[in-house]
Amino acid sequence: MASRKGMINTFQLAFNQAGYPILYHTTQFYSMRQHRPVTQYHLKWVVVDRETNRSQGVEIFNTYYQMWIIFFLRDLWDCINNRPIDTSNPYWEAYKKKHNIVIEDVMLK
């Protein structure tokens, strides 16, 4: 079983090689309510502005759950490869409800 970070890196490499550059990063803050540091995970598309020839990251997904990043990347990979999205994982309904995301809408046209 690969580590979560390793799975994210594998997806990131696959997307980059397929011509869909993705950035992954984390931010942390201290939660006074939970009395501990909390990590937030971010995914961004790399978009090039043709006028200025500069690239920038456009956030497409963020969450506090690292597994949801993996599920999102898996679903996005399925969309890119014209495969149906697997909704059998137990987190699918919470994942879809919390983020109110339809994965096809995320794809840049």
pLDDT at 48 over 70: yes
Q: Give tens-digit pLDDT for 54-88.
A: 888 888 888 888 988 988 888 888 888 887 777 77
pLDDT at 38 over 90: yes
Percent of the chain beyond pLDDT 70?
79
pLDDT score recorded for residue 13: 94
pLDDT score recorded for residue 104: 47
Residue 73 makes CB contacts below 8 A (sequence gap 6+) with 8, 11, 12, 15, 22, 43
Cβ atoms of 70 and 4 closer than 8 Å: yes
Average pLDDT, the chain: 81
